[in-house]
């Protein structure tokens, strides 16, 4: 009897345990699903609503052979890939320009892709908002592939109306007393509108040259030429989404090699800016938009 009486409670307990296990499993599954959903929702919110607007200021220094002491410490604030007409609004652009001006640069530059779409409102935004983008020595810009794909003559007109100096295979001279720093710009490489020789024509041999070139992988050809000290580019957006140990995995033509950040290409410095705007899908992850502040030092 004792054994028999002991078996019944044990069976009951086992059955109860099985019932609790099933309930616990269902409860755990429900909590797990809710947790994953919350994580997913949080991830979507972060990548679409937080990081795309979380503007970073990246500082980088370049030692430039031949740079005169008068230009030691010279600062260039670079923004790139604005892509007005889609995710980028006038209010967002105004914030980008405000942050750029807070850096009090000597020169402000835009390295292409002003637009993704172009209409009268976008034209007016370029013409009016970029009037403020000035360093102590003004502002300079080049076009990118999206500007050509949209309407290069109209984008050019809007940029010029803003007062930015648009360099299309040309250069600009910044002077300090009797010394000079040359800011050159090539037109878009993807669209085969670039002409490095035209951009550098008339610059004395050995003079310090900063080149604006939208597509960063052009750096191999520029470094081989030997006349440019620093190249500033954009185009890649850093892939917009970067994964640990992988990096940006969706990258455009002519942005496959020099994806983001600083590179030394031969004897030339290269900086690839990840941009401030977005192309669809309008997300960023581990790839904050940036204003890059480059400081030049005499070598």
pLDDT the model gives residue 12: 41
Query: For the chain, what percent of residues have pLDDT higher than 90?
Result: 82
Three-state DSSP state, 82: coil
Decide if pLDDT at 234 tops 90.
yes
- For 247, the enclosing helix (H) or strand (E) is strand 247-248
Summarize pLDDT for 22-56 with one digit per residue, the tens.
555 445 444 444 343 334 556 889 999 999 999 99
Q: Which residue has the higher pLDDT, 68 or 37?
A: 68
Q: How many CB atoms lie within 10 A of CB 257?
A: 14
17, 88, 107, 270 from 6: Cα distances, Å: 17, 74, 89, 81
**Selection from 205, 216, 174, 214 nearest residue 74 by Cα:** 174
- Between CA 203 and CA 191 the distance in angstroms is 25
pLDDT the model gives residue 42: 65
- Written as six digits, the tokens of 202 are 């008339």
Architecture of the domain made up of 56-298: 4-Layer Sandwich (3.60)
Decide if pLDDT at 198 tops 80.
yes
pLDDT the model gives residue 299: 81
Decide if pLDDT at 185 tops 60.
yes
Query: Domain locations in the chain?
Result: 1-53, 56-298
The answer for residues whose C-beta is within 8 angstroms of residue 217's C-beta and 6 or more apart is 254, 255, 256, 257, 258
- Written as six digits, the tokens of 68 are 């005169």
Summarize pLDDT for 81-105 with one digit per residue, the tens.
999 999 999 999 999 999 999 999 9
DSSP classification of residue 137: T
Summarize pLDDT for 158-172 with one digit per residue, the tens.
999 999 999 999 999
Three-state DSSP state, 219: helix
Rounded to the nearest integer, the mean pLDDT of the chain is 89
């Amino acid at each position: 009897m004792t054994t028999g009486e002991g078996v019944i409670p044990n069976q009951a307990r086992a059955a109860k345990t099985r019932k609790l296990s099933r309930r616990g499993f269902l409860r755990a599954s429900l909590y797990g699903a809710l947790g994953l959903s919350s994580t997913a929702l949080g991830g979507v919110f972060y990548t679409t609503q937080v990081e795309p607007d979380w503007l970073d200021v990246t500082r980088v220094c370049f030692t430039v052979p031949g740079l005169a002491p008068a230009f030691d410490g010279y600062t260039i604030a670079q923004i790139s890939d604005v892509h007005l007409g889609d995710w980028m609004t006038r209010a967002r652009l105004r914030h980008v320009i405000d942050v750029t001006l807070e850096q009090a640069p000597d020169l402000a530059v835009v390295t292409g892709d002003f637009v993704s779409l172009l209409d009268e409102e976008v034209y007016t935004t370029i013409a009016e908002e970029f009037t403020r983008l000035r360093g102590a020595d003004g502002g300079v810009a080049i076009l990118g592939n999206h500007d050509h794909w949209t309407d290069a003559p109209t984008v050019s007109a809007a940029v010029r109306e803003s007062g930015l100096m648009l360099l299309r295979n040309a250069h600009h001279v910044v002077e300090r007393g009797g010394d000079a720093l040359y800011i050159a710009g090539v037109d878009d490489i993807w669209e085969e509108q670039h002409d490095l020789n035209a951009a550098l024509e008339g610059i004395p041999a050995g003079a310090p040259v900063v080149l604006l070139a939208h597509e960063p992988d052009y750096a191999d050809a520029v470094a081989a030429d030997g006349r440019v000290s620093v190249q500033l580019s954009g185009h890649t957006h850093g892939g917009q989404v970067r994964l640990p140990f992988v990096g940006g995995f969706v990258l455009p033509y002519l942005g496959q090699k020099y994806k983001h950040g600083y590179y030394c290409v031969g004897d030339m410095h290269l900086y690839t800016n990840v941009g401030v705007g977005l192309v669809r899908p309008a997300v960023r992850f581990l790839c904050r938009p940036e204003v890059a502040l480059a400081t030049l030092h005499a070598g």
